[in-house]
Structure 1
Amino acid sequence: MNPDRRDRLRDAAIEVLARDGGRGLTHRAVDRAAEVPSGTTKNYFPTRDAVLRAVAERCLEQYLALTEQLAAGPGPGDREALVTLFRSLLENVAGPGRSRLLAVLELQAEATRRPWLSGILDPMASGDFAGFELAQRAAGLPVTPQRAAVVTLALHAAVPHLLTDGPGTLAAAGLDDPDRFVRDLLDTVYPPDATA
């Protein structure tokens, strides 16, 4: 099978899942989104579970590519650089990462009924816990596993709000200003005048 066409179908399936949700993820919808002849998606991914697996694997590939790109950089050398990094990740949610993250949320819901999906998705969340802890250490913060986890959980909790909520909710959560949100989060977990 043609790997370029396979990736085109997987990318189209991400867009369909993000736009139409789990119920809208059909072989025909993916064919239309990928602009391929009817039946192409079914040839590559014969069942709905195969389509879901393909989407999950593609989301994981995109996540790993993003984390590899971030890891190739110098890393946040101080608190200000960490703010910049975390703010850029939050801004990515409503920007280029929007479809992938919406698809991941849909996949997480599907994983409650299809536990095998959790095995594909798990490296994304666990990777964030490890990577964000390393970033906090690189920034010189007095990291403990618990503090690092609180920061990661707060950033994860922000994602669905950034994807779905109106201005009132975003303002109530402090997410109407991602820079301030990150600064407040770090100041709460790592007060600037406190010692380790």
Structure 2
Amino acid sequence: MNQDRRDRLRDAAVAVLSDMGGRGLTHRAVDAAAGVPTGTAKNYFPTRDALLRAVAERSLEQYRAVAAALAGAGPGPSDAEELAALLAGLLRDVAGPGRARTLAYLELQTEATRRPWLAGLLDPIAASDFAAFTHLLSGAGLPAGPEQVRALTLALHGALPHLLAGAPATLAAAGLDDLDSFTCDLLSAVHPEEPAR
């Protein structure tokens, strides 16, 4: 099969899942989003589960590309202030250029509650964050024990749906209306002895 067309269909499926949610992810919708003849997506991904698998695999590839770009961007943050700035940038990406990717991932997580095989495909994405934040905390000279890593990772993951929904009162209540302050405060809460300001 044509790999370029397959990738185009997978990218279209990510966009459809992001825009229309799980119920909107159909072969016909993917064909329309990809600008290909009706029936093309079904030829590549014959079932809805195959379509979900394709989106999950594409999401994992996109996650790894973002992680590789971060790793290649230099030595990483060397202190709490630089780490807070990096984390704020990651959260801005979620609400900006990475919005479709993140929405699709959250939709996949919902689907995975009913499809254990899908949870297995998604597991490396979230699991990798724990290792990545361990590395970032250590590089910034901050304690990176399991408790600190869990608190940081889960707080950042918990922020995602609120950033995507963009409800102003919730963003203000969570401190997500000012991402620089949010990440500084989060690091200060996780490491009270190491203020990020």
TM-score, length-normalised on structure 1?
0.96
Match of 1:160?
161
Q: What is the one-letter code of the residue matched to 2:185?
A: D
Instruction: Describe how 1:19-58 pairs up with structure 2 within 5 A.
Output: 19-58=19-58
Match of 1:95?
96
Match of 2:179?
178
- Runs of 4+ in structure 1 off by over 6 angstroms are none
Aligned residue pairs, count? 194
Match of 1:126?
127
Q: What is the one-letter code of the residue matched to 2:187?
A: L
**1:63 partnered with 2:63:** yes
Q: What is the one-letter code of the residue matched to 2:161?
A: P
Determine if contact 1:14/1:103 at 8 Å carries over to the other structure.
Answer: yes
Query: In the aligned structure 2, how far is the partner of 1:147 from the partner of 1:193?
Result: 12
Percent sequence identity over aligned pairs: 65
SS at match of 1:191: coil
Query: In the aligned structure 2, how far is the partner of 1:184 from the partner of 1:138?
Result: 19
Determine if contact 1:133/1:149 at 8 Å carries over to the other structure.
Answer: no
Instruction: Describe how 1:138-153 pairs up with structure 2 within 5 A.
Output: 138-153=139-154
Match of 1:3?
3
Determine if contact 1:90/1:178 at 8 Å carries over to the other structure.
Answer: yes
Query: In the aligned structure 1, how far is the partner of 2:194 from the partner of 2:133?
Result: 22
Deviates further, 72-81 or 48-57: 72-81
Question: By how many angstroms is 1:141 displaced?
Answer: 0.7
Query: In the aligned structure 1, how far is the partner of 2:148 from the partner of 2:133?
Result: 11
Question: By how many angstroms is 1:69 displaced?
Answer: 1.2
Superimposed CA distance per residue, residues 110-157 of structure 1 (whole angstroms, 9 cap, x where no aligned partner): 101111001110011010011011101100012211111101100000
Which blocks of at least 5 consecutive residues in structure 1 are unaligned? none
TM-score, length-normalised on structure 2?
0.96
Match of 1:105?
106
Query: In the aligned structure 2, how far is the partner of 1:106 from the partner of 1:189?
Result: 29
Q: What is the one-letter code of the residue matched to 1:35?
A: G
Q: What is the one-letter code of the residue matched to 2:120?
A: G
Which blocks of at least 5 consecutive residues in structure 2 are unaligned? none
Aligned CA distance change for structure 1 residues 53 and 185 (closer, same or farther; 3 Å) = same
Question: By how many angstroms is 1:77 displaced?
Answer: 1.1
Query: In the aligned structure 1, how far is the partner of 2:36 from the partner of 2:189?
Result: 51
